[in-house]
Chains A and B, each alone.
Chain A
């Protein structure tokens, strides 16, 4: 059945977890609505207190937005993390749970979980203190860059409306840490 579409209010309730399960189930089982992305972004744009255009939601708190010629990661609170091609976690506040006691706060039953082996990194937004992501990785593993979207392919080839100021699809995180290693001064939180 082509042409399925839901009112914006339905999409809003869906995102906010307010839509009754029966309706959610029918949305899962049914044909997908072609205009979902645009309505989704419209609803989110109305929720945030800032004006930059949302290009892509990354998580329930983070968005890639257009800022001038740049595309940056921005928190719902307004805090800006910089170029979306750099792992935003390297612009966050990090706290590592490194004692057994801190692990037992989360895990109350018998467990071999060991902070010498497992690094539990909590990433907080420097603006609002929201816990944005938790990495649980072998001690010493590089920061996980969860998602680097290919925004130009998405907008140009999949949605059929190219974005201005095309960017090279490349992970810039390594350039950032290189600057750190070279002792170059950065702006912002880093």
Chain B
């Protein structure tokens, strides 16, 4: 009788490296995942395969909910920034729970890195092990996202992995402790787990726990999150074993591979049925003003970096994103990596086209990218800070989503159209705090209440959603009362900001402004560590004649008379108030600061100081604002989202307030007049494009641009292969044209 020799821990005794190699080879040879030209299980009994997928999904969701019961962090319990994902032994995603959608391919890339680094022989991969990773050099979105990864064995063979991702509020970094705007190198970004074994036999090692206890400001929260992740992984592991018992291990292994191949084909088919092939042009730019912050002098460089994007929908239904022309990476935390780009695409694709709950590695096999090395999208140094890899997802990702929307629109699937916005363009984490908390303890914390309060962009057939969050569709801002347990602040209000939408026939959703008083601390600093890095240049998000929305901003006031006002029961500030006449400035005395975004606020805050943060994700409007239906404008007026000034000026809709009915009434006659006047005004002031082109070309030839922009263009002209030729051809410039500095 033939004796099977077990060479490795993979299925059938194969080493994981061998499994990975075979899988890659089969894909190269056939174009099908694992060489699956045929789908025998699907063909034999599609319902049985569907049941397998459903049970896997249920296991992942149950694991996620378990974590939420164990964690003490509001980011997990309230905002629910976590997810549980299943992977094949080779590290290919099978499916994921509800929750964060951005990490689907990324944890798999960590597993693949472990396979290539020969963990199987050198580290040992055993039942009950857990590997922790937040090293963006391997894969990840920022160091705040911790991956806890556990192998699942069946009769000695590794048959799959489960990974849990949780966002942490504090990871022992430079103040404020998480995603500091002042980090330029990875060495100050806190804990760095490089796919490190942190648990054995389902228990965290003591060395790991000691490292946490002495390595960060809020170790209890961090450790409880890890225990929650470990519990989720164990729960999923046991559920998977039960599934294998019911289906048989061969069916499980072959079935999970078929689920990936089915999704690959489905994604290509969806694209062919819902879009139109072609080329979509776009760009985004990122403003880094490092000289403002507290960084080493040799990193204190201000720069604007260009990231052009040509997006192709190809004839076979695959997507191709070409980042040619991208400028240089820099010593700041806001570059991006190819892995983080894949994460961003995962978030958007799983929300906009592959939203059946079965997105997996197959989805991403239908997507290809060109990410030039040694640029902003692919830094060449492993030492660069990576705390804010969300730059492109925040801005460029939204723009890409808009490009895809054009394809939906042209094909007639107007209900699938979303104008660009993923997160805030300017300040995605405006209130990271550090200092002493209201219990007198050292603390640091990243408040992510804004995750649930972005306004979506407008749609092709309706207004944008108020307080939306594409990044995680089931999230909300969390209860202020729960945030107040861990942060030394008292919320004074959460209100929508009037007139702050992206104007359009269909406006964007509004976003929340949060107002709070600093409470029972005399030593607090704030960091408006951001995401989008758009300050002077507005992202190109308007569609079909709509405008981009209001950017984020903050207002803070120190040395206030708040205590006196409270004693006297005088009005405070609970929102912005009427635009331009803020309640903060109007009702409270103190030193007002309008802080820079994406940097530390240069002041120390104590009890009674007030902070007001507008999270500024208002996406863009869709369509000519002058074509907005008066009934929609009336609704906004009645709801306090729109002032009559903007209603008349932007929408060219006139209305008057009926005091008795306490409602606005549209004046149709005046509206018609205003609109006709606007039409004539446009025809009179618009100049033929050729005239504009000649004038702008002359500006370029004469170098009439700010130095930072000239440097930006020169950088991209030097780095790009295709893009420089197109730039020079558009402006009809010599082949060797660069700007003189």
A153 to B316, CA, bound (A): 10
Is B255 part of the binding interface, using a Cβ–Cβ cutoff of 8 Å?
Answer: no
Contact A117 B536 (CB under 8 A): yes
B285: chain A residues at CB < 8 Å are 137-138
Contact B537 A57 (CB under 8 A): no
Contact B650 A105 (CB under 8 A): yes
A21: chain B residues at CB < 8 Å are 462
Query: For residue A17, which residue of chain B has the nearest CB?
Result: B461
A89: chain B residues at CB < 8 Å are 689
Assess A95 versus B273: contact at CB under 8 Å? Given A118-B536, A136-B548, A177-B729. no
**Chain A residue total in the interface (Cβ 8 A):** 88
Could you mark each residue 678-699 of chain B with 1 if its beta carbon is under 8 Å from any beta carbon of chain A, else 0? 1110110111111011101001
Contact B506 A136 (CB under 8 A): no
Contact B706 A117 (CB under 8 A): yes
> Quick one: which of B655-689 are within 8 Å of A by CB?
678-680, 682-683, 685-689
Query: For residue A44, which residue of chain B has the nearest CB?
Result: B412
A93 to B538, CA, bound (A): 21
> How many contacting A-B pairs (Cβ < 8 A)?
266
Assess A14 versus B732: contact at CB under 8 Å? Given A137-B283, A147-B406. no
Instruction: Choose one: B503, B543, B629, B731; the contact of A106 (CB below 8 Å).
Output: B503
A145: chain B residues at CB < 8 Å are 281
Contact B414 A136 (CB under 8 A): no
A84 to B626, CA, bound (A): 26
Could you mark each residue 75-110 of chain A with 1 if its beta carbon is under 8 Å from any beta carbon of chain B, else 0? 000000000000001111111100000000111111
In angstroms, how far is the closest chain B Cβ from the Cβ of A178? 6
Contact A139 B726 (CB under 8 A): no
Query: For residue B675, which residue of chain A has the nearest CB?
Result: A129
Is B497 part of the binding interface, using a Cβ–Cβ cutoff of 8 Å?
Answer: yes
Instruction: Choose one: A34, A110, A140, A147; the contact of B705 (CB below 8 Å).
Output: A140
Contact B682 A36 (CB under 8 A): no
> Quick one: which of B527-553 are within 8 Å of A by CB?
535-548, 550-551, 553
Could you mark each residue 23-47 of chain A with 1 if its beta carbon is under 8 Å from any beta carbon of chain B, else 0? 0100110001010110111000000
Contact A91 B689 (CB under 8 A): yes
Assess A190 versus B688: contact at CB under 8 Å? Given A105-B649, A107-B551, A109-B614. yes
Assess A32 versus B273: contact at CB under 8 Å? Given A111-B550, A131-B545, A132-B545. yes
> Quick one: which of B708-741 are within 8 Å of A by CB?
708-709, 712-713, 726-727, 729-732
B535: chain A residues at CB < 8 Å are 112-113
B505: chain A residues at CB < 8 Å are 60
Is B306 part of the binding interface, using a Cβ–Cβ cutoff of 8 Å?
Answer: yes
> Quick one: which of A133-169 are within 8 Å of B by CB?
133-150, 153-154, 157-158, 169
B709: chain A residues at CB < 8 Å are 117, 138-140
B460: chain A residues at CB < 8 Å are 60
Query: For residue B272, which residue of chain A has the nearest CB?
Result: A158
Query: For residue B304, which residue of chain A has the nearest CB?
Result: A138
Query: For residue A59, which residue of chain B has the nearest CB?
Result: B544
Is B278 part of the binding interface, using a Cβ–Cβ cutoff of 8 Å?
Answer: yes
Is A130 part of the binding interface, using a Cβ–Cβ cutoff of 8 Å?
Answer: yes
Could you mark each residue 48-70 of chain A with 1 if its beta carbon is under 8 Å from any beta carbon of chain B, else 0? 00000000111111000000000
Contact A95 B544 (CB under 8 A): no
Contact B544 A139 (CB under 8 A): no
Is B113 part of the binding interface, using a Cβ–Cβ cutoff of 8 Å?
Answer: no
A137 to B548, CA, bound (A): 11
B283: chain A residues at CB < 8 Å are 137-138, 141, 144
Instruction: Choose one: A40, A58, A138; the contact of B306 (CB below 8 Å).
Output: A138
B626: chain A residues at CB < 8 Å are 130-131
Contact B274 A32 (CB under 8 A): yes
A117 to B711, CA, bound (A): 12
Is B176 part of the binding interface, using a Cβ–Cβ cutoff of 8 Å?
Answer: no
A32 to B414, CA, bound (A): 12
Contact B687 A177 (CB under 8 A): no
In angstroms, how far is the closest chain A Cβ from the Cβ of B337? 23
In angstroms, how far is the closest chain B Cβ from the Cβ of A63? 10
Instruction: Choose one: A36, A109, A173; the contact of B576 (CB below 8 Å).
Output: A109
A178: chain B residues at CB < 8 Å are 729, 732
Is B500 part of the binding interface, using a Cβ–Cβ cutoff of 8 Å?
Answer: yes
Could you mark each residue 489-527 of chain B with 1 if its beta carbon is under 8 Å from any beta carbon of chain A, else 0? 000000001011001011000000000000000000000
B594: chain A residues at CB < 8 Å are 110
Which of A17, A128, A143, A145 has most chain B Cβ within 10 Å?
A17
Instruction: Choose one: B553, B650, B679, B682; the contact of A110 (CB below 8 Å).
Output: B553
A15: chain B residues at CB < 8 Å are 414, 461
In angstroms, how far is the closest chain B Cβ from the Cβ of A90? 4
Contact A146 B406 (CB under 8 A): yes
B497: chain A residues at CB < 8 Å are 109
Assess A94 versus B580: contact at CB under 8 Å? Given A118-B538, A147-B278, A147-B406. no
Is A189 part of the binding interface, using a Cβ–Cβ cutoff of 8 Å?
Answer: yes
A118: chain B residues at CB < 8 Å are 536-538
Is B379 part of the binding interface, using a Cβ–Cβ cutoff of 8 Å?
Answer: no
Contact A93 B705 (CB under 8 A): no
Which of B406, B462, B538, B625 has most chain A Cβ within 10 Å?
B538
Q: List 11 A-B contacts (CB under 8 A).
A: A56-B410, A60-B623, A95-B687, A108-B646, A124-B682, A124-B683, A133-B542, A134-B548, A136-B541, A139-B709, A154-B277
3 interchain residue pairs of minimum CB distance: A93-B686, A40-B412, A129-B679
Known contacts A106-B650, A110-B555; 5 additional CB pairs below 8 A are A57-B409, A89-B689, A147-B281, A147-B403, A174-B730
| Chain A residues packing against B (C-beta within 8 Å) | 11, 14-17, 19, 21, 24, 27-28, 32, 34, 36-37, 39-41, 56-61, 89-96, 105-114, 116-118, 120-124, 126, 128-150, 153-154, 157-158, 169, 171, 173-174, 177-178, 180-181, 186, 189-190
